Structure 1
């Protein structure tokens, strides 16, 4: 009512003003009309005039998310720029996932699940890039252990970034996630579209890339006795090592997201002294 009164009063002011005052009166009327329109849009359910439909576009990251990454040869700093870039891109895109949770046509439960995947993966990817390798100083009695731990975390950041961006893409395209596991022997290789039997694996078979199906080329991490496969290193977080970053139980990312929620984290040896202790992980 106040807005309507303002428009009426402004119109009367224009009509009664002299020629020299009509410019100022018209300016006042324009301001009152703009304020009235803003108030109507703010406090009514049906704003006047058509509203443009909301259009969402998926951020187009520069990297090819499916392309293999270079082998760091045990040096986490080689992989760090790639992991940090992907974590930043996912962080920017995960907000889009939260918005689409309320608008896409997927079933409500699936919408919530995909949005949660994007958010959890973004947090885990960002956290996994915060572990620099030890420099051999007083606080790092075992630099090889710290380097292996940092490398394992950066690989996790890369994999979680893939999972999170796939979740956002599923919300944008309104299609459920499809299984897209990494290569068990080296998660930085091509995706694991082949399967091989692995003694001791929970599922009996693991996903591997076509190259490793012919001849395994594992990701090597530093150790006190020399490079070892990441899945044999006690420095790599047991969650990622036992799951093969999602290749042991290849699904749409559920296993890795569940492991991220588990909360277990193996601290670098530099943070807990040089003593050893048995590491255990709960894997869902």
Structure 2
């Protein structure tokens, strides 16, 4: 509700309680018990409706955004893995695990924070989707399974997935933070050239791209793309067929202005088995399957 709506609702609840109190006072001795019961029920119902449909505090207890320690510095750039997925794994695994530990917080806040009901439900669902995708993207080390015919392809795919785990962990924690602080989620896209760099702050048109992308300050001056292995040698991740096309076409969220929504939509399409659709720009309200 708006602030005016809150005041009107409060006035209506006060009127109901006052009317019930007047009836209780006017009742004779034989009806006092029933009148008191009606007064209590009216007051309790008014309080419940005000807490549910307004933004008034009314006994709401503040929530503290606390996560298991040690928590990583989510905004700090990560070291370049130089094409080796195992160099990125120690950074991706703890972040995905931390988000998984905190994901229940989104469900708990879905019914209690002061954001509009549709927004808080969507944020909670997005945090869950991000947690699922981050966990799914942490693949086991190459030595834990059968070796494929193309080790370079496998390494490039694993590296692309671990980068996705890092990005989805960041998306999920930011979504939970929006629920806790009761503030709308703000755009915080990665650098298109290298999602492990500092966050993207400049939008620019690059050669071969039909739309603007977000890049960090360093890559705006001199691009330094994330390289992944290939048979012919290291190539930028966005030129590798081994990297999941959802992440490659979206630049991990740097291609479209609302990159967080696009990444969540792409992840949800993957859960449903439909693949990326129109560069992940499907409506954010797509059903999540898990």
Aligned ranges for residues 78-157 of structure 1 at < 5 Å?
A: 78-133=87-142, 139-157=147-165
2:79 aligned counterpart, secondary structure:
coil
Matched, 1:169 2:185: no
Distance across 1 between alignment mates of 2:240 and 2:143: 17
TM-score by length of 2: 0.71
**For 2:168, which of 145, 160, 171 is the aligned residue?**
160
Distance across 2 between alignment mates of 1:241 and 1:252: 13
What is the Cα deviation at residue 200 of structure 1?
3.8
Counterpart of 2:200 in structure 1 is: 192
List per-residue Cα deviations over 1:91-144 (Å, max 9, x = no partner). Answer: 111110111000000000000110011100000000000243368x97411000
**For 2:84, which of 66, 75, 78 is the aligned residue?**
75
Distance across 2 between alignment mates of 1:265 and 1:209: 33
Distance across 2 between alignment mates of 1:168 and 1:115: 7
Indicate the structure with greater helix content.
Answer: 2
**For 1:205, which of 205, 209, 212 is the aligned residue?**
212
Matched, 1:232 2:242: no
TM-score by length of 1: 0.72
Gaps of 5+ in 1: 1-44, 47-51, 267-279
Distance across 2 between alignment mates of 1:120 and 1:199: 33
Distance across 1 between alignment mates of 2:191 and 2:230: 22
Higher relative contact order (CA 8 A, sep 6+): 1
Counterpart of 1:31 in structure 2 is: none
Count of aligned pairs: 221
Higher Rg of the two aligned structures? 1
